Amino acid sequence: MVLGMLGVFGIFGIFAGSFLNLLIDRFYRGEQILIGRSHCDNCKHTLSWKDLIPLLSFVLLGGKCRYCDKPIGWINPSVELVTGVSFGLIAGFSDLSNLSSLSVLGYLSILSLAGVFIITFFADIKYGVVYQEVIVVGILAVLVYWITGEIGGTREIRGIICDLIAASCAFLFFWILHKAFKGRAMGRGDADLAFLVGLTAGWPNVIVALFFSFLTGAVFGLILVVTGAQKLKSTVPFGPFLIAGLVISLIFGESFINWYLSFL
């Protein structure tokens, strides 16, 4: 039963990832989301259904366009794979045996939030942008999660207020960095993303999320400079590191905080 649900959610996630790829590209181009056929980014040839089977088409075509033989790129299959794995893991760590209408809304909000972070992660890598409308969807997903009582549980008002304050402080910190460095160090979208990360991580996990986002960003940047892939003054999208810090905080946040407090 568990493996079956993992498989169902995983396959659903892979197909959902294909839709997320569409959103990543069409938001950037300013195109209608549900109108128009998908096409190759290089030759602009309209793609048929056999070119759009998630993951499978990429593998069968050898990672190249059927019509111009140019590489498709690694981002499209990565989005599909990451979404499939994420949805499968969410199902694996969830109790789906006794669902109510509220808990269904709660799970849908979690899946939506995962989609928001996946879009933001790869859009920032591919285009160097954070879509504000996508962040708004993420904020609404968190609110729905709170309203549903965190899947049937209870959510204290004091906890919600603490999370809102933590998210606001994270936003303010990145907004100040954006203004102080005139957008060279942090983009305006990073501040919006930091707010959503703060809402999702909550207090005090938001501290862990921000700490590891800067740590992973610094290590990655240093590796790029040492290997010559980037110059010292080159800019690197910070959104993916914020999301990486969030994931670390959700998995190891409590353990990390307890470890740190043991030294005080």
**pLDDT tens digit sequence for 72-118:** 889 999 999 999 999 999 888 776 666 665 677 888 999 999 999 99
Q: If 0-12 CB within 10 Å is exposed, 13-18 middle and 19+ buried, where does residue 261 land?
A: exposed
Which of 148-157, 168-177, 215-224 is predicted least confidently?
148-157
Considering the domain architecture, whether residues 119 and 162 belong to the same structural domain is answered as no
Surface-to-core class of residue 251, CB atoms within 10 Å of its CB (0-12 exposed, 13-18 middle, 19+ buried): exposed
**Confidence bin at 187 (pLDDT 50/70/90):** confident
If asked whether residues 125 and 167 sit together in one domain, one would say no
Alpha helices (runs of H) in the chain, residue ranges in sequence order? 2-29, 56-60, 75-92, 101-127, 132-147, 149-152, 157-180, 188-201, 205-227, 239-261
CA 202, distance to chain mean position in Å, is: 16
| Same-domain pairing of 14 and 31 | yes
Residues 132/103, Cβ–Cβ less than 8 Å: no
Look-up of token digits 């707010």: 195
What's the CA gap between 190 and 200, in Å, rounded? Answer: 15
Domain endpoint, select from 103, 136, 151: 151
C-alpha to C-alpha distance for 143 and 126, rounded to whole angstroms: 29
The structural domain count of the chain equals 2
The amino acid sitting at 85 is V
Amino acid letter, residue 147: I
Please check whether residues 137 and 11 belong to one and the same domain: yes
| Inter-CA distances, 103 with 77, 147, 250, Å | 31, 10, 20
Of 121, 151, 181, which residue is a domain's last? Answer: 151
Asked if residue 146 and residue 178 are part of one domain, the reply reads no
Q: The domain containing residue 255 runs over which residues?
A: 156-264
Cβ burial of 3 (10 Å; 0-12, 13-18, 19+) is exposed
CA angle 27, 113, 28 (to 5 degrees): 10
Among 74, 127, 95, CA closest to 240? 127
Strand partners, 64: 71
Tens of pLDDT, residues 5-17: 778 889 999 999 9
Whether residues 251 and 196 share a domain: the answer is yes
**Model pLDDT for residues 47-78, shown as the tens digit of each residue:** 888 888 899 999 988 888 888 988 888 999 99
pLDDT for position 221: 85
* Residues 142 and 17 grouped into a single domain: yes
Q: How many of the other CB atoms lie within 10 Å of CB of 196?
A: 28
DSSP 229: S
pLDDT level of residue 186 (50, 70, 90 thresholds): confident
CB proximity list for 166: less than 8 A, separation 6 or greater? 198, 201, 202, 203, 204, 206
